[in-house]
Chain A
Amino acid sequence: MTLTEERPAPADTASSITADRLGRGPQLAVVFAAVVLGALSWAAEGQPNWARWIIVSLVAYCVGIYVVSRWVEGPRRGLDRFMAAIVTSAFLLVAMPLMSLVWTVIERGTNRFDTEFFTETMRGVVGEGGGIYHAVVGTLIVTGLATVMSVPFGLFTAIYLAEYGHGTRLAKAIQSMVDVMTGIPSIVAGLFAYAFFELLFGPGTRSGIAGAVALTVLMTPVIVRSAEEMLRLVPNELREASYALGVPKWKTIVKVVLPTAIAGIITGVVLAIARVIGETAPLLVTVGLAQGVNWNPFDGRMTTLPVYTYYQYVQPGIPPEAGQDRAWSAALVLIIIVMALFTAARILSTVLKPKGLR
């Protein structure tokens, strides 16, 4: 049975398997032409405008490679090359603002990377000078308290979901609510903490502990999610071996399951910390801002690093450069801390993984 009647004419010749291909030379020529065209876009102004150069070159390359490839290789190959160019251009396009951000923070942030910056507070400082000592203390206290509250909260919830509550309706409800919690905007969490403390202790209260409560609302669902996943990954055979030895369930969890999952759990906690350490909005409404160090989380305002960064930039005082310099340096410190936490999480997850598991 042949299919030879009414065969629609194919776009490329049916029997030939050779096709003209675009060689390296012409491809590079298109790249070169695109770069030159991009350069021309700012040539009139004398000074290189990097953003415009890159964008124009990318557009020129995409169009150019499509036209050339389509002419030499045919429409299908032309489209294939065009899409490859588009996808690569998208990547480069996205890299630009991110590179710019990192570069800007590094360039402007190193202006105030001096000892004074790390040891002084803002007490009595109006213009030059000042530092982030109090902000670092504040961040450590607030984030530390939040971690202390959210880790047991999140971990025990995860233990319930993974070890006790399999498939029950309650567990499903809790899982849905954890999902909802991950979507709470950070400012709403801050408002909740404010409302909580106001209804309990009266209006206008600002305190470190209130900020910690807000951060706990943000951290706990992250910890629950990752801890639950880690606990589920522990093979059931380990639990059964423990039960068969007569070990009660709670001891099995504490002595067998948790140690096996600990690497992933710690990684999850570190990542949760990384996520909240830069949060500004909830701390703005709960903890506020102070000029000097406040060691007491239960009484009064406290400065934290992200809030410090915000205020130093938008209310820099006189001269404004001094405040803005401080803001950039604080931003750099924030980014370094976040990167360090991420790297630590990465290292921990490989180092702590029990040998022989997966």
Chain B
Amino acid sequence: MTDRVDTPQTDVAVSSTVPETGPDNRIVVENLNIYYSDFLAVKDVDMVIEPRSVTALIGPSGCGKSTFIRSLNRMHEVIDGAHVKGSVYVDGEDLYGPGVDPVAVRRKVGMVFQRPNPFPTMSIADNVLAGKRLNSKRINKSDAEDLVEKSLRGANLWEEVKDRLDKPGSGLSGGQQQRLCIARAIAVEPEILLMDEPCSALDPISTLAIEQLMNELKSTYTIVIVTHNMQQAARVSSRTAFFTIDGTGQPGYVVEMDDTDVMFSNPKQQSTIDYVTGRFG
């Protein structure tokens, strides 16, 4: 199913309006408008994100991609006055429904940030367990060790750090720190993993390592990644959404969303073509 825009660029993709209880971890975004107090930052987003796949969000700076992805785990509202209108359905449950606890949402939907941020006062092992410790009263030692190993293996970091699990997390290289953050995120066993420009602070070798990791992770998790790097989007994702903005002070919006190879070889909208061929952005 593709989300195609038939109307001029000021309008947005129209897709299924009925949230389907389909396969697990499918995300259905419906009529989402994101506000900072009174300012509309992102408008009228409708999209479906298929489970166990990698979906890339591309677009020029400031068009709301980060704002949008942060609304998927309700991190957006951490800022004073920030709120949304609309719905985000995961497994048929609206994340913004009444009675929903944002804290519980964030356990289900994990996030990796642009700059690696392992807790500096904790060891590598403690970093991995940080999220798990919040949710369970006591993890006995062997369970903890198993979880640390599993998560670090899952993040392709185990071999490199297995001999120094009690050293601080800040002693690693940038790429290793980012993989540590990924290990920390998957240790709480989320269903969805959000990545906000995870490689923009890393060197090319580390970037490659993370991209390979994404390829392995997608068989377990639904991954949404924001990236400035179109080549990266082309490499890792199966579906891509293009965001843009008409000018400063205007809200960002989705222009087009399609299979990745279509988006980069034969997109439908003119502004997509312009962006993808490098004419602006």
Q: Chain A residues in contact with chain B, CB under 8 A?
A: 1-3, 6-12, 14-21, 76-77
Contacts and interface: CB of A to CB of B under 8 A. Distances in A.
Contact of A10 (B93, B97, B136): B136
Nearest to A13: B104
A19 B220 contact: no
A8 B99 contact: no
Interface in B65-103: 91, 93, 95, 97, 99-101, 103
Contact of A11 (B95, B100, B136, B220): B136
A17 B93 contact: yes
Contacts of A14: 189
B111 interface: no
27 contacts: A1-B153, A1-B216, A1-B220, A2-B220, A3-B187, A3-B189, A6-B143, A7-B189, A11-B135, A12-B104, A14-B189, A15-B91, A15-B108, A17-B95, A17-B100, A17-B101, A17-B104, A17-B105, A18-B93, A18-B101, A18-B104, A19-B99, A19-B100, A19-B101, A19-B104, A21-B99, A77-B103
A20 B139 CA distance: 25
A20 B101 CA distance: 8
Contacts of B159: none
Nearest to B140: A8
Interface size band for B? 20 to 34
B143 A8 contact: yes
A7 B139 CA distance: 10
Nearest to B93: A17
Contact of B101 (A8, A9, A11, A21): A21
Given A19-B101, A21-B99, A3 B151 contact: yes
A10 B190 CA distance: 13
Question: B-side binding surface: helix, strand, loop or mixed?
Answer: helix
Contacts of B220: 1-2
Nearest to B189: A3
Q: Which 9 A-B pairs have the closest CB atoms?
A: A19-B101, A17-B104, A18-B99, A10-B135, A17-B105, A3-B150, A17-B100, A18-B100, A8-B136
A20 B136 CA distance: 19
A interface secondary structure, majority: loop
A303 B153 CA distance: 77
Contact of B104 (A1, A9, A16): A16
Contacts of B147: 3
Nearest to B104: A17
Given A10-B136, A12-B135, A1 B97 contact: no
B137 interface: yes
B139 A8 contact: yes
A155 B93 CA distance: 66
A38 B182 CA distance: 50
Given A1-B220, A6-B143, A15-B108, 5 more contacts: A1-B153, A1-B219, A11-B135, A18-B97, A18-B100
B136 A3 contact: no
Interface string B134-169: 111101000100110011011000000000000000
Contacts of A18: 93, 97, 99-101, 104
A1 B154 contact: yes
Nearest to B217: A1
A241 to B, nearest CB: 34
B186 interface: yes
B105 A6 contact: no
A9 B147 CA distance: 13
A8 B151 CA distance: 14
Contacts of A2: 220
